[in-house]
Chains A and B, each alone.
Chain A
């Protein structure tokens, strides 16, 4: 009896406080989201009716929602590829000792502590139609440089570039740590056996960086999927109709601007399912690669 009492007290004092807040502010809201998604709940109207799966049916033909899925997919693919590739290249470049390389590293790390709002405002100036980038392009002889943020054909790609810039530092840190874990003896031995730099990278360094690739890819995936701040500050979903409206942005728009809380919840549930499946699949595939070594 004393043991049971002590275990209960241990749970109540150590486990329960944190868990209770987590349950109230994360688990219950998720269940509420699922519940709301089957109603026509709106803050503008008292009461609500049960509508079953009607919201989900509407989503299937909702152009705005389908566009937001497309926008999010394009953004995610861009941000999965660019910071991973450039981050690896820069990490290889920076993988040397000394004050110079330390200083260079700090430059890449700085955007990690900047708020997305700050990053967004800076880039709005840089990519302005008459901004520094376009002036530089004109100087280089491009007669009619694109409106990076004002042209519907370019805005999404500019957004991808901005997010990639901000995430690059993270990938550099993680790859640098991975590179420092690659034993020099291996490269030297391969060198003696006549392997050139590319072969050494391809056969030794790259396979040993598998855990770093896993971390980067999963973090980039989860981060990009919920991109909201940059869209809100830079483009507000435009230019044109929803050309840069991500799923996360569209949910907030439906839930807090249009006040369609029920419908927004249905979108949220779909988003949750997609991100859960995507991260589990990514983790499985990438970790299998690690195990095979």
Chain B
């Protein structure tokens, strides 16, 4: 009988920062500094939210638009390209396939800081520095090992006979892949979509460096900028954080089951 009580107590302590994040959205800015951060918002106010939504500098809406564009384009490109590359690797035996697999696996642990200095040079060479396209291309290159890793594991369970049968029926390799194999990969596609969306949406360092100060912000760099801009308007910062997190939070709550399943795929195989 003690278990629920202990659980509730421990979880409440863990919950305090989340409570702070929520409660300050509807609290007047003046009441937030110091211990006020934890006080109940009495009376609650919607001023912070409406101020952020109608801010003349348009920080929230512009950041939201950038984040939506960058995340959507990156995730679509990543899903398609990594599924195809994984298919190529799963169906290509021998040294060549293994070499590419090992090169991609190395990419899973490379910290972005190691490559960002030269990345800015590469992007400048292509004329893509401080552009959304540049950031999308970087995301695709940086996260493709993860996509390939997830899809390859799944593709191994799908027999090649299936495509050969389709080939006999006259379908080309591309057709066989998109019509027959890709739909079967749905659970892997779900994992890739969910994780990459959350990671790219929340990414701070690469938009900070690649988009730079002049070219608009994503939601994360927008929050960072607001720390200077609204330095004493804590309520504004909390409202901005809440609105910026809302899309990903809804996405997560809707797909929580798949999210957890995706996370634990590697941990339960013994």
Chain A residues close to B by CB (< 8 Å): 10-11, 13-15, 17-19, 21-22, 24-30, 32-33, 36, 90, 93-94, 96, 100-101, 104, 106-119, 121-123, 125-126, 128, 130-132, 134-135, 165, 168, 170, 173-174, 176-178, 180-181, 208, 210-212, 215-216, 222, 225-226, 228-229, 232-233, 247-248, 251-252, 255-256, 261, 264-265, 268-269, 271-272, 275-276, 279, 290
> Contact between B21 and A93 (Cβ–Cβ < 8 Å)?
no
> Contact between A256 and B209 (Cβ–Cβ < 8 Å)?
yes
Q: A131-B34, A181-B270, A222-B109 are in contact. List 7 more A-B contacts (CB 8 A).
A: A13-B173, A25-B142, A110-B249, A113-B202, A176-B264, A212-B268, A215-B267
Residues of chain A lying within 8 A (CB to CB) of residue B106: 276
> Contact between A128 and B141 (Cβ–Cβ < 8 Å)?
no
Query: Which of B33, B100, B122, B177 interacts with A15 by CB under 8 Å?
Result: B100
Give residues 230-249 of B contacting A (CB, 8 Å).
234, 237-238, 241, 244-245, 248-249
Q: How far is the CA of A25 from the CA of B104 in the complex (A)?
A: 12
Distance from A197 Cβ to chain B, minimum over Cβ atoms (Å): 13
> Contact between A228 and B205 (Cβ–Cβ < 8 Å)?
yes
Q: Interface code B185-203, partner A: CB below 8 Å = 1, 0 otherwise?
A: 0000000000000100111
> Contact between B11 and A104 (Cβ–Cβ < 8 Å)?
yes
Q: How far is the CA of A21 from the CA of B249 in the complex (A)?
A: 30
> Contact between B269 and A211 (Cβ–Cβ < 8 Å)?
yes
Query: Which of A26, A113, A222, A256 interacts with B142 by CB under 8 Å?
Result: A26
Distance from B131 Cβ to chain A, minimum over Cβ atoms (Å): 14
Q: How far is the CA of A162 from the CA of B216 in the complex (A)?
A: 29
> Is B7 positioned at the interface, with any CB of A under 8 Å from its CB?
yes
What 8 pairs between A and B have smallest CB-CB spacing? A25-B141, A177-B264, A32-B118, A226-B111, A115-B202, A15-B88, A132-B38, A135-B35
Query: Which of A24, A123, A131, A251 interacts with B35 by CB under 8 Å?
Result: A131
Distance from A271 Cβ to chain B, minimum over Cβ atoms (Å): 6
Query: Which of A121, A174, A222, A248 interacts with B267 by CB under 8 Å?
Result: A174
> Contact between B82 and A18 (Cβ–Cβ < 8 Å)?
yes
Q: How far is the CA of A32 from the CA of B4 in the complex (A)?
A: 55
Residues of chain B lying within 8 A (CB to CB) of residue A225: 111
Interchain residue pairs with CB less than 8 A apart (8): A17-B84, A25-B137, A26-B142, A28-B122, A108-B11, A111-B18, A118-B21, A170-B263
> Contact between A211 and B117 (Cβ–Cβ < 8 Å)?
no
**Chain B binding site: helix, strand, loop or mixed by DSSP?**
helix
Distance from A66 Cβ to chain B, minimum over Cβ atoms (Å): 18
> Contact between B114 and A33 (Cβ–Cβ < 8 Å)?
yes
- Closest B residue to A115 by CB, please name it: B202
Q: How far is the CA of A13 from the CA of B18 in the complex (A)?
A: 47
Give residues 18-50 of B contacting A (CB, 8 Å).
18, 20-21, 24, 32-35, 37-38
Query: Which of A101, A115, A174 interacts with B264 by CB under 8 Å?
Result: A174
> Contact between B122 and A255 (Cβ–Cβ < 8 Å)?
no
> Contact between B227 and A255 (Cβ–Cβ < 8 Å)?
no
Q: How far is the CA of A225 from the CA of B245 in the complex (A)?
A: 25
Residues of chain A lying within 8 A (CB to CB) of residue B81: 17-18, 21
- Closest A residue to B270 by CB, please name it: A211
Residues of chain A lying within 8 A (CB to CB) of residue B104: 22
> Is B73 positioned at the interface, with any CB of A under 8 Å from its CB?
no
Q: How far is the CA of A22 from the CA of B17 in the complex (A)?
A: 38
> Contact between B144 and A128 (Cβ–Cβ < 8 Å)?
no
Distance from B87 Cβ to chain A, minimum over Cβ atoms (Å): 6
Residues of chain B lying within 8 A (CB to CB) of residue A222: 108-109, 111
> Contact between A116 and B202 (Cβ–Cβ < 8 Å)?
yes
Residues of chain A lying within 8 A (CB to CB) of residue B173: 10, 13-14
> Contact between A173 and B269 (Cβ–Cβ < 8 Å)?
no
> Contact between B119 and A29 (Cβ–Cβ < 8 Å)?
yes
- Closest A residue to B249 by CB, please name it: A113
> Contact between B20 and A126 (Cβ–Cβ < 8 Å)?
yes
Query: Which of A22, A112, A229, A275 interacts with B145 by CB under 8 Å?
Result: A22
> Contact between A18 and B148 (Cβ–Cβ < 8 Å)?
yes
Residues of chain B lying within 8 A (CB to CB) of residue A119: 17
> Contact between A107 and B85 (Cβ–Cβ < 8 Å)?
no
Residues of chain A lying within 8 A (CB to CB) of residue B34: 128, 130-131, 135
Q: How far is the CA of A256 from the CA of B112 in the complex (A)?
A: 14
- Closest B residue to A261 by CB, please name it: B117
> Contact between B37 and A110 (Cβ–Cβ < 8 Å)?
no
